Chains A and B, each alone.
Chain A
Amino acid sequence: MLEIRNLHVRVEGHAILKGVDLTVGAGEIHSIMGPNGSGKSTLAQVLAGHEAYEVSEGQVLYEGKDLLAMSPEERAGEGVFMAFQYPVEIPGVRTSYFLRAALNAIRKYRGQDELDAMDFLTLLQEKAVKVKLDDRLLERAVNEGFSGGEKKRGEIFQMAVLEPRLAILDETDSGLDIDALRIVAEGVNSLRDPQRSMIVVTHYQRLLNYIVPDFVHVLVDGRFIRSGGKELALELEEKGYGWIEKEPADAAAGGR
Chain B
Amino acid sequence: MSSNPHTTNEKNPVEPYLADFSTFEKAHQENTPSWLRPRRKVAISRFAEWGFPTILDEGWRFTNIGTLARSHFVVAPPAGEQGSEAIAALLARAESYVPGDATAARLVFVNGRHVPELSTVPAQGRGVKIGSLAGALASQEGILECYLSRFADADDRNYTFAALNTAFLEDGALVVVPQGVELDKPIHLVFLSVSATDGYTSAVHPRVLAVVGRNARASFVESHLSTRHEAAHWTNGVTELIAWQNASVDYHRLQLEDPDALHTGLLRFHLEADAQLSSHVMTLGGALVRNDVHAVLNGKGAHGDFNGLYVATENHHIDNHLRIEHVRSHGMSRQNYKGILTDRGRGVFTGRIVVHKDAQKTDAKQTNRNLLLSEEARANSQPQLEISADDVKCTHGTTVGQLDAESLFYLRARGLPLEKARGLLVQAFAQESIEHIGIASIREAMLSEIFGRLLARPALVSVP
- A and B found bound together: yes
Interface residues of A (CB under 8 A from B): 48-52, 71-73, 75-77, 81-82, 84, 87-88, 90-93, 98-99, 101-103, 105-106, 109, 141-142, 158, 162
Contacts of B104 in A (CB 8 A): none
Determine the distance from Cα of A74 to Cα of B422 in the docked complex, in whole angstroms. 16
Which of A49, A75, A91, A105 interacts with B428 by CB under 8 Å? A91
Which of A50, A52, A102 interacts with B415 by CB under 8 Å? A102
Asked if residues A51 and B428 are in contact (CB atoms below 8 Å), the reply is: no
Q: Closest residue of chain B to A161, judged by CB?
A: B414
Asked if residues B420 and A72 are in contact (CB atoms below 8 Å), the reply is: no
Contacts of A142 in B (CB 8 A): 410
Does B409 sit within 8 A of A, measured CB to CB?
yes
Given A71-B418, A73-B417, answer yes or no on A90-B427 (Cβ-Cβ < 8 Å).
no
Segment 409-433 of B: residues with Cβ below 8 Å from A:
409-418, 420-421, 424-425, 427-429, 431-432
Does B407 sit within 8 A of A, measured CB to CB?
yes
Contacts of A72 in B (CB 8 A): 409, 412-413
The interface centre, meaning the residue of B415, B429, B464 with most chain A CB atoms within 10 A of its CB, is B415
Does B406 sit within 8 A of A, measured CB to CB?
yes
Asked if residues A90 and B416 are in contact (CB atoms below 8 Å), the reply is: no
Determine the distance from Cα of A98 to Cα of B464 in the docked complex, in whole angstroms. 20
Asked if residues A49 and B415 are in contact (CB atoms below 8 Å), the reply is: no
Which of A48, A81, A105 interacts with B416 by CB under 8 Å? A105
Write out, one digit per residue, whether chain B residues 395-411 have a CB within 8 A of any chain A CB (1) or not (0).
00000000011110111
Going nearest first, the 3 A-B pairs with the smallest beta carbon separation are: A92-B428, A76-B415, A72-B412
- Besides A73-B415, A109-B415, 15 new A-B residue pairs in contact (Cβ under 8 A), listed by A number: A48-B413, A50-B413, A51-B409, A52-B405, A71-B412, A71-B418, A73-B417, A73-B421, A76-B415, A82-B413, A84-B410, A90-B428, A91-B432, A101-B424, A105-B416
Q: Closest residue of chain B to A102, judged by CB?
A: B414
Determine the distance from Cα of A162 to Cα of B415 in the docked complex, in whole angstroms. 9
Contacts of A76 in B (CB 8 A): 412-415
Determine the distance from Cα of A109 to Cα of B421 in the docked complex, in whole angstroms. 15
Determine the distance from Cα of A73 to Cα of B420 in the docked complex, in whole angstroms. 11
Determine the distance from Cα of A99 to Cα of B428 in the docked complex, in whole angstroms. 15
Determine the distance from Cα of A14 to Cα of B464 in the docked complex, in whole angstroms. 23
Which of B409, B411, B418 interacts with A98 by CB under 8 Å? B411
Determine the distance from Cα of A162 to Cα of B413 in the docked complex, in whole angstroms. 11
Determine the distance from Cα of A41 to Cα of B350 in the docked complex, in whole angstroms. 43
Contacts of B428 in A (CB 8 A): 90-93, 141
Chain B: interface size category: 20 to 34
Contacts of B416 in A (CB 8 A): 73, 101-102, 105
Given A71-B418, A101-B424, answer yes or no on A92-B431 (Cβ-Cβ < 8 Å).
yes
Q: Closest residue of chain B to A72, judged by CB?
A: B412
CB distance from B435 to the nearest CB of A (A): 8
Asked if residues B418 and A93 are in contact (CB atoms below 8 Å), the reply is: no
Given A90-B428, A92-B429, A93-B428, answer yes or no on A98-B414 (Cβ-Cβ < 8 Å).
yes
Q: Give 10 A-B contacts (CB < 8 Å), ordered by A residue.
A: A51-B409, A84-B410, A88-B406, A92-B431, A98-B424, A101-B424, A102-B415, A102-B416, A103-B415, A105-B417
Asked if residues B411 and A90 are in contact (CB atoms below 8 Å), the reply is: yes
Determine the distance from Cα of A84 to Cα of B406 in the docked complex, in whole angstroms. 11
Contacts of B464 in A (CB 8 A): 51
Asked if residues A101 and B420 are in contact (CB atoms below 8 Å), the reply is: yes
Asked if residues B412 and A49 are in contact (CB atoms below 8 Å), the reply is: yes
Contacts of B431 in A (CB 8 A): 92
Contacts of A105 in B (CB 8 A): 415-417, 420
Determine the distance from Cα of A49 to Cα of B418 in the docked complex, in whole angstroms. 13
Determine the distance from Cα of A103 to Cα of B428 in the docked complex, in whole angstroms. 19
CB distance from A145 to the nearest CB of B (A): 14
Determine the distance from Cα of A223 to Cα of B363 in the docked complex, in whole angstroms. 56
Determine the distance from Cα of A150 to Cα of B399 in the docked complex, in whole angstroms. 29
Contacts of A158 in B (CB 8 A): 414
CB distance from A172 to the nearest CB of B (A): 15
Asked if residues B415 and A92 are in contact (CB atoms below 8 Å), the reply is: no
Contacts of A90 in B (CB 8 A): 407, 410-411, 425, 428
Given A88-B407, A98-B424, answer yes or no on A106-B412 (Cβ-Cβ < 8 Å).
no
Asked if residues B412 and A93 are in contact (CB atoms below 8 Å), the reply is: no
Asked if residues A88 and B410 are in contact (CB atoms below 8 Å), the reply is: yes
Given A73-B417, A105-B417, answer yes or no on A87-B410 (Cβ-Cβ < 8 Å).
yes
Asked if residues A73 and B412 are in contact (CB atoms below 8 Å), the reply is: yes
Q: Closest residue of chain A to B428, judged by CB?
A: A92
CB distance from B25 to the nearest CB of A (A): 52
Determine the distance from Cα of A241 to Cα of B415 in the docked complex, in whole angstroms. 36
Asked if residues A106 and B415 are in contact (CB atoms below 8 Å), the reply is: yes
Determine the distance from Cα of A48 to Cα of B408 in the docked complex, in whole angstroms. 13
Which of B414, B424, B432 interacts with A162 by CB under 8 Å? B414
Determine the distance from Cα of A80 to Cα of B114 in the docked complex, in whole angstroms. 61
Contacts of B421 in A (CB 8 A): 73
CB distance from A137 to the nearest CB of B (A): 16
Determine the distance from Cα of A90 to Cα of B410 in the docked complex, in whole angstroms. 9
Contacts of A101 in B (CB 8 A): 416, 420, 424
Determine the distance from Cα of A70 to Cα of B413 in the docked complex, in whole angstroms. 11
CB distance from B299 to the nearest CB of A (A): 35
Determine the distance from Cα of A92 to Cα of B412 in the docked complex, in whole angstroms. 17
Determine the distance from Cα of A106 to Cα of B416 in the docked complex, in whole angstroms. 8
Contacts of A51 in B (CB 8 A): 405, 409, 464
Q: Closest residue of chain B to A77, judged by CB?
A: B415
Contacts of A87 in B (CB 8 A): 410
Contacts of B415 in A (CB 8 A): 73, 76-77, 102-103, 105-106, 109, 162
Contacts of B406 in A (CB 8 A): 88
Which of A49, A93, A103 interacts with B413 by CB under 8 Å? A49
Contacts of B414 in A (CB 8 A): 76, 81, 98-99, 102, 158, 162
Contacts of B420 in A (CB 8 A): 101, 105
The interface centre, meaning the residue of B405, B406, B412, B428 with most chain A CB atoms within 10 A of its CB, is B412
Q: Closest residue of chain A to B419, judged by CB?
A: A73
Determine the distance from Cα of A247 to Cα of B414 in the docked complex, in whole angstroms. 39
CB distance from A12 to the nearest CB of B (A): 14
Determine the distance from Cα of A240 to Cα of B329 in the docked complex, in whole angstroms. 64
CB distance from B297 to the nearest CB of A (A): 29
Determine the distance from Cα of A63 to Cα of B141 in the docked complex, in whole angstroms. 80
Contacts of A141 in B (CB 8 A): 428
Contacts of B425 in A (CB 8 A): 90, 93
CB distance from A6 to the nearest CB of B (A): 24
Determine the distance from Cα of A93 to Cα of B404 in the docked complex, in whole angstroms. 13
Determine the distance from Cα of A77 to Cα of B416 in the docked complex, in whole angstroms. 9
